């Protein structure tokens, strides 16, 4: 098993955090110590005098051991826009992210890193999530929101991952639309279009059930 994984999505709000927490619970249930990381987050709020992100706090809560927030989410931006815009006065520096990731690798058996937005979402003026996955030398797990348009989005993102010359360890489907017609057929079409394995499908839920979600995964 790899030391960690980089989680990317076919878009923003596709279920990356739910998939990330499900993966953390999955590895913990198999006796692994687990840490998570959300290196860059926009749309944060002030808590106790510091910017905090709800997804990053959830990742922190699900780690196997206590980890300082700043190690999990080094760049927390208030404005809910692309990180290269939100961070214009405090741009993301990859050497800082890599250094924190290396510390997490020492602390845990597995580190699950959730990217911000999609594969080509810019993190600063020069670099995107794709560059961060390369810098961290992690295999990628792609999260696909199973909704109208998902086949096209999945194929485009998968093609982009392959063009970046990184290993795609597989993909996870997250059912975000309870009224989607032909859900199973959409999933089958995505499976047929890619040679990366399907690692699991998270059924639609109004409220996340992470233990149940973790049981749907097979890594």
Active site members: 38
Closest by CA to 71, choosing from 108, 104, 34, 109, is: 104
Q: How far is CA 12 from CA 17, 50, 115, 139, 156, in A?
A: 10, 24, 10, 20, 15
Q: How far apart are CA 170 and CA 194, in angstroms?
A: 9
Q: How far apart are CA 219 and CA 33, in angstroms?
A: 16
Are 108 and 5 in contact, with CB atoms under 8 Å apart? Answer: no
Closest by CA to 19, choosing from 186, 210, 215, is: 210
């Amino acid at each position: 098993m790899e030391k960690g994984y980089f989680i990317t999505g076919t878009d923003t709000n596709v279920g990356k955090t739910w998939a990330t927490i499900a993966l953390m619970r999955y590895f913990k249930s198999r006796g692994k110590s687990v840490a998570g990381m959300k290196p860059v987050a926009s749309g944060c709020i002030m808590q106790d005098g510091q910017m905090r992100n709800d997804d990053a706090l959830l990742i922190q809560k699900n780690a196997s051991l206590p980890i300082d927030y700043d190690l999990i989410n080094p760049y927390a931006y208030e404005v809910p826009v692309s990180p290269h815009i939100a961070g214009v006065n405090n741009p993301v520096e990859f050497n800082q992210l890599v250094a924190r990731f290396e510390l997490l690798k020492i602390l845990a058996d597995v580190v699950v890193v959730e990217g911000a937005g999609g594969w080509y979402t810019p993190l600063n003026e020069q670099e995107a999530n794709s560059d961060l996955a390369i810098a961290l030398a992690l295999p990628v797990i792609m999260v696909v929101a199973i909704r109208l348009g998902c086949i096209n989005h999945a194929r485009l993102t998968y093609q982009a991952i392959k063009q970046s010359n990184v290993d795609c360890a597989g993909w996870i489907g997250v059912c975000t639309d309870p009224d989607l017609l032909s859900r199973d057929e959409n999933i089958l079409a995505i499976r047929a279009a890619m040679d990366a394995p399907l690692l699991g499908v998270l059924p639609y839920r109004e409220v996340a059930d992470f233990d149940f979600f973790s049981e749907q995964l097979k890594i």
